[in-house]
Amino acid sequence: MHKVIIHEVGLRDGLQMESEPVPTITKEHWIDQLIEAGVDIIQLGSFVNPGKVPQMADTDDLFEIYNSPGKKQGNTLFSCLVLNEKGLERAMLCGAEMICMGFSASQTHSLKNTGMATEEAAARIINMAKRAIDAGKTVQASIQSAFGCGFEGDIEEDRVIGYAGQYIDAGVRQISLADTAGYANPLKVERMFSAIKKIDSTAGLACHFHNTYGMGLANCLAAMNTGVEYFETAFGGLGGCPFTNLPTGNVCTEDFVNMLQEMGLRTEINNDNIAGIAKYACGFFIKDVPGHLYKIGKIKH
């Protein structure tokens, strides 16, 4: 089995739907726990307009904190999300090591999310990706609503694969398919990632699944079996895109790690740390979060 790389997006996608602001010091505690747990990549936030997404107002501060000598530790990589050229400039100034960006295969979702039609958004993101690659950054480029759209329903698979081919032609080496609406199913996941591998078998593949219809872990397993290496998940199963029709949480990090460990994979990750963050989030937001492991604990052998 190839290496399964955990990309924790709880600090970004997990929090963007929450109305209760999370203080920077609380985020630091959660990030420190994730580093100690051995998570591979942590998305510290997104470089967006803080007036529209207040939870992301301290992204610049978090990069300054975690790029300082006292905080930089181990092999953890810190990523961010950017939506436009201004966000990319901020990410470059903050010294972000890994920059994620993308556009939506759904015209409706694209217009709601960015104010641009898909083709215009695609052209801008591809130019931004080239610029970041030329600057020596690790770039992950995604296609959102890749498996379907809450507004439009089915999205043509060939169209999505064509967009992936445009990324590959532009020199992007890591491509993500994001299931923004949670419409993916395991067979569709295998089919679409296999199609991208036929275009370029050396491209790094990433997935981002939402658990809208309870198929998140099944889709992750299908992606693993197709050779996908990077898995974007959020502690507690928090999250959701505010610009989709039915925003629901991400695949839960600690549940995904628990599945891996039951299969004998990634046993070095301290999953208790991650489940502990989910418990903390429950108390902070005064509600249950969607994950399972933090409520019932590990299987006893």
177 neighbors 160 (Cβ within 8 angstroms): yes
Q: How far apart are CA 206 and CA 104, in angstroms?
A: 16
- Of 94, 220, 241, 252, the catalytic one is 241
CB 290: neighbour CB atoms within 10 A? 18
Pairing of strands 41-47, 5-8: parallel
Q: How far apart are CA 101 and CA 125, in angstroms?
A: 7
Q: What is the DSSP letter of 48?
A: S
* 241 classed as catalytic: yes
301 neighbors 258 (Cβ within 8 angstroms): no
**239, 241, 245, 248: CA torsion to nearest 10:** -10
Rounded to 10 deg, the angle between the 157-169 and 186-199 helix axes is 40
Q: How far apart are CA 252 and CA 237, in angstroms?
A: 4
Counted residue by residue, the chain has a size of 301
State both tokens at 99.
């920059």
**Cα-based distances in Å from 211 to 152, 204, 219, 239, 287:** 19, 23, 9, 10, 18
CA quadruple 194, 41, 86, 135: dihedral sign? negative
**Among all residues, which ones are annotated catalytic?**
241
